[in-house]
Amino acid sequence: MNKLAAVDVVNIIAEFSKVIIANRDYLNELDGKLGDADFGTSICAGCCAVEKIIPELGSTKPGFALGKTGTTLVKSMGGASGPLFGTIFMKAGKTLGENTEVGVQELASMFAASLAGVKTLGKSDVGDKTLIDALAPASVALEAAAANNSSLQVALADASAAAAQGVEDTKNLVANRGRAHYVGERALGHQDAGATAIQMLFKVFADYVS
């Protein structure tokens, strides 16, 4: 597989939703160390809503499918996480535009736009112990893969590994944003739930093409 077709993108969206729903309690547990213990419930609600629109995405272009996923997450997730996760998919979809296939270069451009959008919206950056700490290294890995003309499989494996390392790195960070900010140094040793969800997204991508 050199490029993802529309059906592949929709399948990945559907699988990501399943993974998040299956890990609702785990994500709540992670969030409970730093916040309100409701992140899993919130993103699960969003992914349940996404599952309902999967049938109507089957005949659309990848960019539309991603954008529709994003708007659905914004509408159905509670708290601050909805706009952030929605932005990831909406910016990716807008960047992809009318393209009918998604290769490494498109993935790099999509997630670079997603990263920029989340940084602007959340006024956060790498090191703030947020989802950006997984999204940024994954995006960098995709840009490197595009520059090196890596295969889709290698590119997404690298992005998934980078996101996983980013999650691990959040254990050593004190949060500067969100409710975790109030926990202070008690956040040390605990990974960020939002970053964990991002790692799950890239693992779904990587597993799909492997």
- Residue 181 clears pLDDT 60, i.e. is over it: no
List the helix and strand counts (H, then E) for the chain. 9, 2
Q: How sure is the predictor about 186, in pLDDT bands with cuts at 50, 70 and 90?
A: low
Domains and CATH numbers, the chain: 4-209 (1.25.40.340)
Give whole-number Cα distances, 27 to 34, 37, 52, in Å: 11, 8, 22
Residues 25-46 have pLDDT tens digits of 999 999 998 878 999 999 999 9
Percent of the chain exceeding pLDDT 90 equals 87
- Residue 156 clears pLDDT 60, i.e. is over it: yes
CA neighbor of 92 nearest in space, from 115, 125, 124: 115
Residue 99 confidence (pLDDT): 96
Over range 43-70, report the average pLDDT.
96
Residue 175 confidence (pLDDT): 72
Mean pLDDT lowest for which of 56-70, 89-103, 146-160, 173-187?
173-187
Give whole-number Cα distances, 57 to 13, 103, 114, 137, 183, in Å: 10, 20, 20, 29, 41
Residues 97-143 have pLDDT tens digits of 999 999 999 999 999 999 999 999 999 999 999 999 999 999 999 99
Q: Is the dihedral of CA 131, 202, 112, 91 positive or negative?
A: negative
- Residue 163 clears pLDDT 50, i.e. is over it: yes
Residue 182 confidence (pLDDT): 46
Mean pLDDT lowest for which of 55-59, 172-176, 198-202?
172-176
Give whole-number Cα distances, 205 to 80, 127, 158, 184, 185, in Å: 25, 24, 11, 34, 34
- Residue 62 clears pLDDT 80, i.e. is over it: yes
Residue 79 confidence (pLDDT): 81
User: The whole model's pTM is what?
Assistant: 0.94
- Residue 184 clears pLDDT 70, i.e. is over it: no
